[in-house]
């Protein structure tokens, strides 16, 4: 069953209720963020990178630690090209089902994987790679309290075209076009589910949104438009 029609409704309800998350940027500026979950993937991510290079666009990737460990060269290439990197957990387990220690381990192990793959200092990665998107967008108020306590920043979404179900490139593109506006935070997937279409889908989305006068930025740029205090 597809839930794509329900995501815009959920967004309108959840955004004001959980306003310490990044759901979208400012509607006053023509910026949108392309974000990609579940990678890196040995086949789909390089195809996606070629598209982003073609249009000179910087995107944001929310990685699974296990995938980083399996494809460190791909992870390093994404980072080398200047894309923004965030955390999606180590193995896509749903955050509310994890005990606090298990959740923190999942995030820290993903940071370790990123540091190793990208040949970065682990302390720097722990300070800089702190954006977290919960798998399947599932969280609880307690989940957010833990993330805040550990100085992570929860990143959600405003446009979810359900590309992981592969309804067809044209369907995904039309869903994005119907929902997109200034500040939109768009979720696509370059992992095992949905990654087969991600390069073509992304190319079409970029072409159409550029025609609308929108500019592509990373989630970090969207964070700069809202206030999110650090944990003490």
Catalytic residues: 37, 189
Q: What is the 3-state secondary structure (H, E, C) of the chain?
A: CCCHHHHHHHHHHHHHHCCCCECCCCCCCCEEEEEEEEECCCCHHHHHHHHHHHHCCCCEEEECHHHHHHCHHHHHHHHHCCCEEEECCCCCCCHHHCCHHHHHHHHHHHHHHHHHHHCCCHHHHHHHCCEECCHHHCCCHHHHHHHHHCCCEEECCCECCCHHHCCCHHHHHHHHHHHCCCCCEEEEECCCCCHHHHHHHHHHHHHHHHHCCCEEECHHHHHCCCCCCCCC
Distances from the Cα of 69 to the Cα of 103, 110, 134, 167, angstroms: 18, 9, 19, 30
């Amino acid at each position: 069953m597809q839930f794509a029609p329900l995501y815009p409704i959920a967004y309108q309800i959840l955004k004001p209720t959980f306003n310490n998350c990044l759901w979208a940027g400012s509607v006053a500026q023509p910026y949108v963020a392309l974000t990609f979950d579940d990678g890196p993937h040995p086949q789909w991510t390089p195809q996606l990178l070629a598209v982003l290079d073609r249009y000179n666009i910087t995107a944001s990737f929310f990685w699974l630690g296990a995938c980083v460990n399996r494809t460190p060269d791909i992870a390093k290439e994404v980072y080398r090209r200047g894309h923004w990197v965030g955390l999606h957990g180590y193995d896509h387990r749903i955050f509310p089902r994890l005990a606090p220690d298990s959740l923190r381990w999942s995030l820290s192990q993903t940071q370790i994987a990123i540091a190793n793959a990208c040949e970065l200092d682990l302390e720097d990665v722990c300070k800089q790679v702190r954006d977290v998107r919960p798998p399947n967008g599932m969280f609880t108020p307690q989940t957010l309290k833990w993330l805040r306590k550990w100085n992570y920043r929860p990143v959600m979404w405003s446009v979810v075209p359900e590309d992981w179900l592969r309804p067809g490139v044209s369907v995904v593109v039309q869903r994005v076009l119907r929902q997109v506006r200034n500040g939109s935070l768009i979720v696509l997937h370059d992992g095992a589910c949905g990654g087969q279409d991600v390069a073509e889908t992304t190319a079409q989305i970029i072409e159409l949104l550029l025609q609308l006068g929108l500019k592509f930025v990373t989630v970090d740029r969207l964070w700069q438009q809202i206030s999110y205090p650090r944990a003490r």
